[in-house]
Chain A
């Protein structure tokens, strides 16, 4: 009987293909959009994820997201160090500055200043150069995408010089960094160099990176820091979500992507539903004959659900594969770097496809279940 259902499905080639294609299209659109959305939103917290050697972020208690943190007095570092449960704490700087290139062009860059002695928060994956070169005077690192942005089409070459706030710096290495939300180059340097770039600022430390003692609860330590120093302490995840939720609340990104994803769902559901319905109508005679032959309703439901799940399964597989292929190729260009198909997108879209197929088969089932077998013999 299942064999019959499949023959029935593949019998009408054009409807069979258009059913699969509609599901494929809906899957492709939704999974790709969800993945890009997640990728882009995650980018707003790239600098948080890139700090992998510290667990806690301490900052002013009114900070809403990573790009908006006032500078703290330098004594705050000592105060955080004195909190029980803190194994160590180091300073960290993040700001935007304008780099003046030798040819007169200028580029905005994200400047990250890491602690001089320990280099906590420095990039670990080097493309050219080695990490210890960051200790050289006036040395900076720039991420790979940033290098391509600042010197497009030129081979990787360290030792290049440029100016930051009229202070000379030289490129000591090219590193990998998660792509930032603003697509600006990410520049790493030491904290004392930042003091050289911004000599007029009284304070330059907007974050304190800390590690809780082994065996202590990170959230407990955060609370202790907040209580003793009045500063806000967040775990890496906590700060990640704080930043993400700010971007979700205050930008048009979720609405924009939400509309596209909804359209994908609606168009997919409409096309697939209509096609499937027409397909059932066309095969109504066959269903009628089967009913007349004494095939039970359960059996018929099984047949229709089988047909629906075969087309949706194939469409889903094709769509996911195409999304994966898409991201495999686009991953190499800077604007799409780091954006890929996510598990949440895959499962979410799977559920959406399941919903589409249940909705569409519901209409067809209604038609078949209330079918009079006598219809076969009419006209």
Chain B
């Protein structure tokens, strides 16, 4: 019995181990099955087509509003609650510090009043109170002249009758001549007074009024420039300005982003190597990133005629440039929710060979 066990031990062990190795062979190797992607990647919608990356933008493009005047922001008229709401053209958006301009405006208003008052004074000449004394002066001189004329005529008669000496008559004559000159002087002075102010003086005064008015208008324009308004009707997409911040015209960033969201457009980048295969007549669809099921139909709007260096839309100001792209503009044909301005979409453009 033991002998049989001893004889069969080794063969049995070998058999057992062999079976184990077969088992190991079959099950040790993990044969991993093929998998499907967690989320369907975007696919080319057409049998023959071109793909491109598109960026959703507002109709008439996104308007990055800046400021014309550098300075500290005093107030922002639109709150973040108003993001996405419609504003009409001319709605105030934010105001850059204009206090010094407003102070200057008061000075200029005073200057204008001064100039206007001066003109008014010139125009009101002659002063009515000055006229009666002047007229009285003329009358006095006239009366004096009449009296002396009478004396002269009497002296003439007396001289003829030789009742007066020549010397006295001559004295009477010169006295009359002096009175006559005084009467004429009084008349001229009266006429000068009644004529009012001199015309060139008034012209000078009027010009200084105009200059003062121009100064006021200039400052008012400057103050108006400090208030940034919506240039067109549209929705506020982004507010990136807060009271107290310093802004200037050279800043690259958009302080307020405005766009018309009535219709959305997609700006598609087509690689320069694919331009030859691109035709604007083909059908076009787009899928937002991560939503493969959502197919947007696009309508051709125009081709931007200039091929530009590609931007990778990282939003960074050192955006990568690796190749040049043709930009084509499409309008999203159907009103689908969940598409936002600034979103990237994968675009398929049908390539028809006719």
Footprint of B on A, CB under 8 Å? 10, 17, 20, 49, 52-54, 73-75, 78-79, 81-82, 84, 86-90, 115-120, 122, 124, 131, 195, 202-203, 211, 313-318, 320-325, 327-328, 331, 338, 340-343, 346
In the complex, are the beta carbons of A52 and B24 less than 8 A apart? no
Task: Beyond the given A79-B273, A120-B38, please list 18 additional residue pairs across the A-B interface where CB-CB is below 8 A.
Answer: A52-B33, A52-B35, A75-B325, A78-B50, A79-B271, A79-B274, A81-B346, A82-B44, A84-B47, A118-B41, A124-B35, A314-B14, A316-B18, A318-B14, A321-B18, A321-B21, A338-B30, A340-B28
Task: Say yes or no: is B143 at the interface (Cβ < 8 Å to chain A).
Answer: no
Residue of A nearest to B23 (CB): A324
- Complex Cα–Cα for A215 and B221 (A): 71
Residue in contact with A75 in the complex, picked from B33, B41, B47, B310, CB distance below 8 Å: B310
Per-residue A-contact encoding for B32-46, CB less than 8 Å = 1, 0 else: 111111111111100
- Complex Cα–Cα for A324 and B290 (A): 46
Q: Which chain A positions have C-beta within 8 A of B25?
A: 324, 341-343, 346
Residue of B nearest to A120 (CB): B37
* B259 CB, nearest partner CB in chain A, Å: 25
Q: Which chain B positions have C-beta within 8 A of A118?
A: 37-41, 290
Task: Say yes or no: is B29 at the interface (Cβ < 8 Å to chain A).
Answer: yes
In the complex, are the beta carbons of A116 and B289 less than 8 A apart? yes
In the complex, are the beta carbons of B7 and A10 less than 8 A apart? yes
Residue of A nearest to B17 (CB): A321
Task: Say yes or no: is B303 at the interface (Cβ < 8 Å to chain A).
Answer: no
Q: Which chain B positions have C-beta within 8 A of A317?
A: 14-15, 17-18, 21
In the complex, are the beta carbons of B312 and A119 less than 8 A apart? no
* B353 CB, nearest partner CB in chain A, Å: 12
In the complex, are the beta carbons of A131 and B38 less than 8 A apart? yes
Beta-carbon contacts under 8 Å, B293-342 to A: 310, 312, 314, 320-323, 325
Residue of B nearest to A338 (CB): B30
* A325 CB, nearest partner CB in chain B, Å: 7
Residue in contact with B14 in the complex, picked from A52, A313, A343, CB distance below 8 Å: A313
Per-residue A-contact encoding for B262-302, CB less than 8 Å = 1, 0 else: 00000001010110010000000000011000000000000
Q: Which chain B positions have C-beta within 8 A of A342?
A: 25, 29
- With contact pairs A318-B17, A341-B21 given, residues A78 and B40 touching in the complex (Cβ less than 8 Å): no
- Complex Cα–Cα for A195 and B315 (A): 13
In the complex, are the beta carbons of B51 and A78 less than 8 A apart? yes
Q: Which chain A positions have C-beta within 8 A of B30?
A: 338
- Complex Cα–Cα for A89 and B34 (A): 17
Q: Which chain B positions have C-beta within 8 A of A338?
A: 30
Task: Say yes or no: is B20 at the interface (Cβ < 8 Å to chain A).
Answer: yes
Residue of B nearest to A315 (CB): B14
In the complex, are the beta carbons of A122 and B271 less than 8 A apart? no
Q: Can you list 7 pairs linking A and B with CB atoms under 8 Å apart? A: A82-B277, A116-B290, A120-B38, A195-B314, A314-B11, A321-B18, A346-B21
In the complex, are the beta carbons of A53 and B34 less than 8 A apart? yes
Task: Say yes or no: is B10 at the interface (Cβ < 8 Å to chain A).
Answer: yes
In the complex, are the beta carbons of B24 and A53 less than 8 A apart? no
Residue in contact with A117 in the complex, picked from B17, B34, B41, B348, CB distance below 8 Å: B41
Task: Say yes or no: is B53 at the interface (Cβ < 8 Å to chain A).
Answer: yes
Residue in contact with A115 in the complex, picked from B16, B32, B41, B321, CB distance below 8 Å: B41
Task: Say yes or no: is B158 at the interface (Cβ < 8 Å to chain A).
Answer: no
In the complex, are the beta carbons of A327 and B24 less than 8 A apart? yes
Residue of B nearest to A318 (CB): B14
- Complex Cα–Cα for A211 and B24 (A): 33
Residue of B nearest to A340 (CB): B28
In the complex, are the beta carbons of B17 and A119 less than 8 A apart? no
Per-residue A-contact encoding for B46-60, CB less than 8 Å = 1, 0 else: 011111110000000
In the complex, are the beta carbons of B40 and A88 less than 8 A apart? yes
- Complex Cα–Cα for A21 and B30 (A): 31
- Complex Cα–Cα for A138 and B14 (A): 55
Task: Say yes or no: is B251 at the interface (Cβ < 8 Å to chain A).
Answer: no
In the complex, are the beta carbons of B34 and A52 less than 8 A apart? yes
Closest 10 CB pairs of A and B: A321-B17, A317-B18, A81-B51, A324-B24, A320-B21, A317-B14, A340-B28, A88-B41, A117-B290, A314-B14
* B58 CB, nearest partner CB in chain A, Å: 24
Task: Say yes or no: is B5 at the interface (Cβ < 8 Å to chain A).
Answer: no
Q: Which chain B positions have C-beta within 8 A of A54?
A: 37
In the complex, are the beta carbons of B28 and A327 less than 8 A apart? yes
Task: Say yes or no: is B1 at the interface (Cβ < 8 Å to chain A).
Answer: no
* A60 CB, nearest partner CB in chain B, Å: 14
Residue in contact with A318 in the complex, picked from B13, B49, B314, CB distance below 8 Å: B13
